[in-house]
């Protein structure tokens, strides 16, 4: 009796269910496991990257508002790999310097070029923050249906077993039903973390993008005042 109990226990392990599953159900399970692994890889990567971005934003804002010369800060950042707010700052200052070196005389045209440069950089940095979030959305929406497909195939297998054996004994039906339930569970296991992570990271990306937009607006105002001062000084010298 003890040997029979052990055998029955081994037959209902997850690995045994996977091994005994049909070819199609195995493919579904493998795909869902791969999707789950990819989901957690994105979650870990985004958690690290967003935490790093927040620290970089805090450090840059601290330096920027410390009263340091914009020219000195620009020279310090040009030799580094910048991202986020620092990239917006470098892009704006680069356009500022190029325009004045070429003798810009129209404050409106110069301001438009600087704003356009910051907008392009802001869009690029926002895309970096939102990279791979689409994968989370796709997994979150598709995984339950993929698991449901495995469920349908498993139930069909059970019906075929019933027809082949001409018996409705639970021992005949149970394996296919168990495979079906396992496919459903794996679909939910992949989808739930993906949906939660997508909602959280979308919110985080929006907040970080909002901080960059706020900085771009403030810096645009600062440069606008300096453009007026520079042009007035040039006109007075002439």
pLDDT (tens digit, 9 = 90+) per residue, 66-122? Answer: 888 888 888 888 888 888 999 999 999 988 888 766 665 666 777 888 899 999 999
What tens digit of pLDDT does each residue of 162-220 get?
777 666 666 666 667 777 788 899 999 999 999 999 999 999 999 999 999 999 999 99
pLDDT of residue 59: 93
The predicted pLDDT at position 9 comes to: 42
Helix (H) or strand (E) holding 55: helix 23-64
Smallest CA-to-CA distance from 190 within 50, 46, 48, 41 is with 41
In a domain, 238, yes or no: no
**According to the model, what pLDDT value does residue 231 have?**
65
CB-based contacts of 158-161 (< 8 A; 24+ apart in sequence): none
Look at residue 13 and tell me if it is in a domain.
no
What integer pLDDT is reported at residue 103 of this predicted model?
A: 62
| Residue-level pLDDT at 179 | 77
pLDDT in the model for residue 10: 43
Let me know if residue 74 belongs to a domain.
yes
CA distance 174 to 112: 70
Phi and psi at residue 52, to the nearest 5°: -65, -40
The answer as to whether 29 is a domain residue is: no
Q: pLDDT digit string (tens) for 16-69?
A: 777 777 788 889 989 999 999 999 999 999 999 999 999 999 999 999 988 888
The answer as to whether 40 is a domain residue is: no
Question: Does residue 25 fall inside a structural domain?
Answer: no
Residue 101 has what pLDDT?
Answer: 66
Asked whether residue 146 is assigned to any structural domain, the reply reads yes
- Residue 135, classed as helix, strand or coil, is helix
Write down the pLDDT at residue 170: 64
Long-range pairs for 65-71 at CB < 8 Å and ≥24 separation? Answer: none
Cβ pair 144, 185 in contact under 8 A = no
Domain tally for the chain?
1
Closest CA to 217 of 78, 63, 89: 89
| 8 A C-beta contact, residue 73 and residue 94 | no
Helix (H) or strand (E) holding 111: helix 107-130
pLDDT of residue 235: 59
Whether 85 is covered by a domain: the verdict is yes
Query: What is the span of the domain harbouring residue 222?
Result: 46-152+183-232
């Amino acid at each position: 009796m003890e040997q029979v109990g052990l055998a029955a226990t081994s037959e209902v392990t997850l690995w045994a269910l996977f091994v005994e599953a049909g070819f199609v159900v195995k493919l579904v399970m493998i795909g869902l496991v791969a999707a789950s692994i990819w989901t957690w890889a994105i979650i870990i990567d985004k958690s690290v990257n967003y935490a790093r971005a927040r620290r970089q934003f805090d450090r840059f804002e601290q330096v920027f508002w410390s009263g340091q010369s914009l020219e000195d800060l620009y020279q310090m950042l040009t030799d580094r790999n910048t991202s986020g707010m620092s990239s917006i700052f470098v892009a704006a200052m680069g356009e500022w310097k190029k325009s004045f070196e070429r003798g810009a005389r129209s404050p409106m045209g110069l301001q438009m070029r600087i704003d356009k440069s910051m907008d392009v950089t802001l869009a690029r940095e926002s895309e970096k923050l939102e990279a791979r979030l689409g994968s989370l959305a796709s997994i979150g929406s598709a995984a339950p249906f993929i698991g449901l497909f495995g469920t349908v195939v498993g139930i069909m297998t059970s019906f075929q077993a019933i027809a082949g054996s001409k018996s409705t004994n639970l021992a005949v039906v149970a394996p296919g039903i168990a495979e079906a339930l396992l496919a459903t569970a794996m679909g939910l296991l992949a989808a739930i973390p993906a949906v939660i992570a997508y909602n959280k990271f979308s919110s985080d990306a929006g907040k970080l993008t909002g901080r960059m937009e706020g900085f771009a607006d403030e810096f645009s105002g600062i440069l606008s005042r300096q453009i007026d001062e520079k042009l007035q000084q040039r006109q007075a010298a002439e």
